[in-house]
Amino acid sequence: MSELQQLEKLFAEGKINRRRFIAQISALGLTAAVSPLLFSGSAMAATPKKGGRMIMGSTGGSTTDSMDPATFTSNMNQNINWQIRNNLVEIDHNFNPVPELAESWSSTPDAKVWTFNLRKGIDFHNGKTMTSEDVIFSINHHRGKESKSAAKAYLKNVKNIKAEGKYKVVFELTGGSADFPFILGDYHLSICPLDTKGPEWEKGVGTGAYILENWEPGVRSFAKRNPNYWKEGRAHFDEVETLSIADSVARTNALKTGQIHYMDRCELKTVRLLKKMRGINVTATTGTAHYTIPMLVDQKPYDDNNVRMALKLAINRERLVKQILRGYGEPGNDHPIASVNQFFAKDLEQRTYDPDKARFYMKKARMLDHTFNLHAADAAFAGAVDASILIQEDAKKAGIKINVVREPNDGYWSNVWMKKEWSMCYWGGRPVEDMMFTVAYADGAPWNDTHWKNDRFNKLLIIARAELDKEKRRKMYAEMQEICRNDGGTIVPMYNQMVEASSTKLAHGPISGHMAMDGMRTAERWWFA
């Protein structure tokens, strides 16, 4: 098999993304030899068609959900959000920031002042025209002292936001931020009408492709196409219905019987059978998604790094990838930066299963007699409970006792995650290193789900954010990955491909690995064939 054929096979299987594929074939001087059909996919059509009701089955829905973007935690509300709203910036399928409600942007040479020029004539669903006042309100919603938004961590560096007329917004930062446009593409930072508050959030008013008609938290949403949508070549369905279906078997059966057209998080135990079924397409997309097992390091015994190291070494990552992911992924290395990220530390030694070393560290911590409670539900990720049982079995060989506590799916993200001392978790990842580290690993970040603090890490985070020299940034981000690996409270056992299924009645363009469900924009980007 030639190098080109090998690369084409990896790309077709979703093991490398489009950006890496193009970079590698360009380096080989083979760009002209690649068939355009490789980028099309079997479900792609040349000309999108308008019409029909598309129904999606999604994980993550909870009765505690809200349409307040500061509260978003799951696939369900993130996906609905981008049906009905837009951001200043969109992250495309190549992990690049592209204009959305902002038509352009620029910065000062030190990346401390960023100016965003807004599109004119964009109306909210209520008829109000979007201006700079709406943008400033929407961003400030996540900045106040009382805000519990995860995006608050991203905006900590923002000193001031001001309007220069109706269609220009200027962000003044306390320090340089080379990746600032990426931040404004985060799903929390959707643009909403000025002074939205209280029950008004649940109306879901935005500038997006669809207008929210009905919203039942944890159950369903129903939206109709926005007749005044401003994006050309988007929003092809007449109607979009999103159903919360937590159980993977139920989602699969709904797809098989035609009750839904699209589902996220396929049951990997049976996905090979799904692939063989007529009328169904299965896609496996490589991105930044990963599974984690966070420990609250401000609680005993997880405040002892010997304990954290022992548990990291007691996990058989290869076994988890094989038995839980069925090969749709790769072992994690206890840091959140994926191989598709620009500054991935490829030379960092891969951690492997070592029960003898695990026992050594646990003995050092004097905790061999302790029983660790691992809280799990398949709401965390498909197969989370099974994964916990495998971890329990492998830890026994190190003399470590783990009790698997099965939790309800409903309310998992509000009642278990960040509440229980050790639990299963899922992260979609972020397109750039600064965002991922800032939201989940920085000291004081609302979603620092281990309460971990490392002075050297936090110092590097600020310096790397402002550094414009890519090679200097690469070295700093490599060190930060190593610090997470060896000191952090998060176990990252595996990176997962996003395995999803859809009816062959649907068609689409290139699929994004930025987030699940085509970057959470299936409703906007897909159509009926």
Where are the CATH 3.40.190.10 domain residues in the chain? 208-286+498-528
Residue 320 to residue 315: CA distance in whole angstroms: 9
| 323 to 198, 328, 330, 493: CA distances (angstroms) | 45, 10, 12, 13
The whole-chain average pLDDT of the chain stands at 92
Determine if the pTM surpasses 0.75.
Answer: yes
pLDDT at position 158 over 60: yes
With helix as H, strand as E and coil as C, how does 431-479 read? CCHHHHHHHHCCCCCCCCCCCCCCHHHHHHHHHHHHCCCHHHHHHHHHH
Q: Which residues contact 288 (CB under 8 A, 6 or more apart)?
A: 338, 340, 341, 428, 429, 430, 431, 436, 513, 514
What is the rounded average pLDDT of the residues 188-199? Answer: 97
Q: pLDDT band for position 13 (50/70/90)?
A: very low
How far apart are alpha carbons 156 and 256 in whole angstroms?
A: 46
**Domain(s) of CATH 3.90.76.10: residues in the chain:** 86-198
CA distance 199 to 414: 20
Helix (H, G, I), strand (E, B) or coil at 169: strand
Q: How confident is the model at residue 470 (pLDDT cuts 50, 70, 90)?
A: very high
Q: What is the pLDDT of residue 305?
A: 98
Residues 22-30, mean pLDDT to the nearest whole number: 60
CB 380, CB 388: distance < 8 Å: no
Predicted pLDDT of residue 420: 97
Per-residue confidence (pLDDT) for residue 36, from 0 to 100: 39
* pLDDT tens-digit series, residues 353-398: 999 999 999 999 999 999 999 999 998 998 999 999 999 999 999 9
Q: Are 409 and 378 in contact (CB under 8 A)?
A: yes
pLDDT of 144 strictly over 90: no
**Neighbouring C-beta atoms of residue 12, cutoff 10 Å:** 12
- Among 401, 404, 402, which residue's Cα sits nearest to residue 368? 401
β-pair partners for 118: 102
How much is the average pLDDT of 468-483? 97
CA dihedral (434, 440, 445, 451) positive or negative? negative
Q: Which residue intervals of 177-281 are DSSP H helices?
A: 180-183, 248-256, 271-275
Amino acid identity of 358? A
The CATH code belonging to domain 290-496 is 3.10.105.10
pLDDT digits (tens, 9 = 90+) for 408-443: 998 999 999 999 999 999 998 999 999 999 999 999
- Report percent pLDDT > 90 for the chain: 85
Share of the chain above pLDDT 70, in %: 91
Q: Is the pLDDT of residue 38 over 70?
A: no
Residue 74 confidence class, pLDDT cut points 50, 70, 90: confident
- The CATH homologous superfamily of the domain defined by 86-198: Dipeptide-binding Protein; Domain 1 (3.90.76.10)
Contacts of 329 (CB under 8 A, 6+ apart): 321, 494, 495, 496, 497
For the stretch 39-47, contacts whose Cβ atoms lie closer than 8 Å and that sit 24 or more positions apart, written own/partner, are 39/510, 41/283, 41/508, 41/510, 41/511, 42/281, 43/281, 43/502, 43/504, 43/506, 43/507, 43/508, 43/529, 44/507, 44/508, 44/509, 45/507, 45/527, 45/529
Q: Per-residue confidence at 35, pLDDT binned at 50, 70, 90?
A: very low
d(CA 185, CA 193): 18
Q: What is the pLDDT of residue 257?
A: 96
Dihedral (C-alpha) 30, 36, 41, 42: value to the nearest 10 degrees? -130
Residue range 507-521: average pLDDT?
Answer: 93
Please state the rounded mean pLDDT for residues 288-303.
97
- pLDDT for 256-268, tens place per residue? 999 999 999 998 9
Q: Residue 146 — very low, low, confident or very high, per pLDDT cuts 50/70/90?
A: confident
Domain 208-286+498-528 coded CATH 1.10.1060.10: no
* pLDDT tens digits, one per residue of 212-236: 999 999 999 999 999 999 999 999 9
Counts of helices then strands in the chain (DSSP H, E): 17, 21
How far apart CA 395 and CA 513 sit, in angstroms, is: 33
Stretch 283-308: mean pLDDT: 96
C-beta separation of 300 from 454 below 8 A: no
pLDDT at 251 over 60: yes
Query: Residue 446: its pLDDT value, please?
Result: 86
241: number of Cβ within 10 Å: 19
Q: For 351-400, where are the E strands, in sequence order?
A: 371-376
The confidence band for 60, taking pLDDT boundaries of 50, 70 and 90, is confident
Which DSSP category does 423 fall into?
A: B
